[in-house]
Structure 1
Amino acid sequence: MKKDLHPEYNEVTIKLADGTEIVTRSTMDKDTHESEVDSTNHPFYTGRRQFVDTAGRVEKFNRRYGLNQDDEDEEDDEE
């Protein structure tokens, strides 16, 4: 390798959310890194899903623009 071309490649200790520690090599400037997400708590691996309240978003939109259910019903009747 050419001198001063590549970054330093040092050992880093990675601490996962469940407390597991892994020693690997990285170009990070730190000696340790704490991860908040890993395979024990990420929804992709655990199968748990978080649903977003889309109805609340629609209601907020309607309130913001002064719409209510009666206005929407009148528009549907005209079609």
Structure 2
Amino acid sequence: MRHGIHPDSRPVVFRDRASGHAFLTRSTLDSTRTIEWEDGRTYPLVDVETSSASHPFYTGTSRVVDTAGRVERFERRYGRTADAR
């Protein structure tokens, strides 16, 4: 890597606002807010709206979309092509 052209990577705490879950990772983001972590050190804090702790796909609360009904409605509206029969 060339020196002086890359942003500094540092430990940062990301906190999910929906679930309150926080995790420590490395990032180039900077924040004026700080938090004292479990190891007793102070790190910059970045609040995020959604993380794997609150996203429906990862928590198993996602809904199944009725795609068959959509396909049938599309076929009724626009008909099927001769190649698809």
Residue pairs, 1:3-42, within 5 angstroms: 3-16=3-16, 17-28=18-29, 30-31=30-31, 32-39=46-53, 41-42=55-56
Taking only the aligned residue pairs, the percentage that are identical comes to 38
More contact order relative to length (CA 8 Å, sep ≥ 6): 2
Structure 2: gaps of 5 or more residues:
32-45
- Return the TM-score normalized by structure 1: 0.51
Residue of structure 1 equivalent to 2:63: 50
Contact 1:12 1:33 in 2 (8 A): no
Give CA-to-partner distance per residue, 1:18-66, whole Å, 9 cap, x none.
Answer: 11233433123x421414132454434x444521102321222123214
CA RMSD of aligned residues (A): 3.1
SS where residue 13 of structure 2 aligns? strand
Higher share of residues assigned strand: 2
Q: Give every structure 1 segment of 4 or more consecutive aligned residues whose post-TM-superposition deviation is greater than 4 Å.
A: none
Contact 1:7 1:27 in 2 (8 A): yes
Equivalent residue pairs, number:
66
Answer yes or no: is 1:61 the counterpart of 2:62. Answer: no
- Return the TM-score normalized by structure 2: 0.49
C-alpha distance in 1 between matches for 2:20 and 2:64 = 28
